[in-house]
Structure formats: C-alpha cells, structure tokens
Amino acid sequence: MKNRLIHLSAFLVAIALLGCSNSHNPDRALAEKRAELGQTEILGGTSFFKEESDTFVADHPLEAVASGANYSIQIELAPQGTFELVSHAQKGLKNGFSLIFSRTADSANLNVIAKVGSEVADWSAAFAATNPAHPLSFSIDIHNDEEGAAHVMIWNGDVLLLDSAETTTTPSPGLGQGQLWGVRINSSTVTTISRSEPRHED
C-alpha cells in the first residue's frame, strides 16, 4: 500500500510539472528575470535591454504571438541611417516582423521595407511625400493575429499613409513568431517610442 502511495505521489508531481512546462513562455520568463536584475536602459521613454550596440529589446513582451500592437515613434535618420522596428519576435529579435526605415545619402526619398525571414515587401512608394531629412513621426499598427500575414497600418498624424490590406499595396510579407519586440538603430536618433493597444480594430 505504501509503495502504491509513493508511485501515485510521483505521478501527480510529474503531471503538475508537465502542466507547468506546457504553459511556460521562455521569452517572457527571460524578460521578467532581466527586469528583476535591473538590466535595462531608457530609449525614447521606454525601457529596453541592450542586446548589442545597435539592438534593444523591450522589457515588456507582447501578450501573445497572435496579437496586435500600436507603436508610436519619433525618429531622426542621418544620411545612411536606418531604424528597424521588430515586432512579435523571438530571442535576439529573430523570426519577427520587421519594418525598416532608411535614408541614403544621395536621395531625398524615405525607404520603407517590411521583412519576415527571406520575404520582403517594399512600401517606399507610400512615403514618396515624406522627407527623411526631417524628423519622422509615425503611428504603426501591426496585427499579427490574422491568417497568413500581419496586417500593417501606418499613419502620420491623422493621415493614413499605408494599409497593407489594400490591393494597391505590396502584400505583407508574413507573420512574426514570438512575443518580444524592440528596435535596431544605425546612425539614427530615437526621440520617442512607445507601445499601446492597436489604433484600428480589425
């Protein structure tokens, strides 16, 4: 009888551990641990972990892989500068949905590229009237909870510049695979960056 009770107790413990492992999210656990250790710095008013000299991961992950978020950014690009917003990514900002804003030295055009893995969408045409030599301010919705590809909307103030669901826009390149978000910056200044609930409800 005693042996049966021991075996039953071991079985129940194993089941409990299995349940915990199934619900464990390594991205969120890592972020929470690093936040406890105080390994953060402020960039544009938001707390980030500095992964590398140009890579910053927000210390508050997204609620779920299949979720939406709005990002408000104010940035300045130097000639040859780039600013990359990465949403719904995994550790190291890998396997996420990237929006890359860049400026070449000999051009007055703002380049805007969306990227997921090897899939790329060039959305620069929607920003033809935007001068990258001036400070840039955008409100960006990334809905990563849609079938096949994220739905992206970008505003400048109240003006909708891009809606990836429109037939005239190059299709969105795919979906992010994680709950982390952050930025990569090169020769650019981040004045403001914040995350909130999506501006547009699908």
**Would 201 be classed as within a structural domain?**
no
Q: What pLDDT is attached to residue 67?
A: 98
User: CA 38 to CA 53: how far, in whole Å?
Assistant: 18
Q: What pLDDT is attached to residue 50?
A: 92
Q: What is the DSSP letter of 199?
A: S
Could you give the 3-state DSSP secondary structure of residue 171? coil
**Would 47 be classed as within a structural domain?**
yes
Q: What pLDDT is attached to residue 128?
A: 94
User: CA 104 to CA 75: how far, in whole Å?
Assistant: 16
In 3D space, the residue among 29, 34, 97 whose CA is nearest the CA of residue 65 turns out to be: 97
- The residue with tokens 């009888």 is 1
Structure confidence by residue, pLDDT tens digits, 143-188: 999 999 999 999 999 999 999 999 888 999 999 999 999 999 999 9
- Range of the structural domain that residue 162 is part of: 26-196
Could you give the 3-state DSSP secondary structure of residue 178? coil
**Would 14 be classed as within a structural domain?**
no
**Would 3 be classed as within a structural domain?**
no
**Would 114 be classed as within a structural domain?**
yes
Could you give the 3-state DSSP secondary structure of residue 126? helix
- The whole-model pTM stands at 0.81
Q: Left, alpha or beta for 121 (phi > 0: left; psi -120 to 50: alpha)?
A: beta
Average pLDDT, the chain: 86
Query: CA–CA distance from 77 to each of 22, 23, 71, 179, 201 (Å)?
Result: 43, 41, 18, 27, 30
Report whether pLDDT(96) > 60.
Answer: yes
Bridge partners for 9 per DSSP: none
Structure confidence by residue, pLDDT tens digits, 187-197: 999 999 999 99
Could you give the 3-state DSSP secondary structure of residue 180? strand
Q: What pLDDT is attached to residue 72?
A: 98
For the chain, how many structural domains are there in total? 1
- The residue with tokens 């055009």 is 109
**Would 105 be classed as within a structural domain?**
yes
Q: What pLDDT is attached to residue 114?
A: 98
Report whether pLDDT(98) > 80.
Answer: yes
**Would 18 be classed as within a structural domain?**
no
In the chain, what percentage of residues exceed pLDDT 70?
80
CATH number for 36: 2.60.120.200
Q: What is the DSSP letter of 127?
A: G
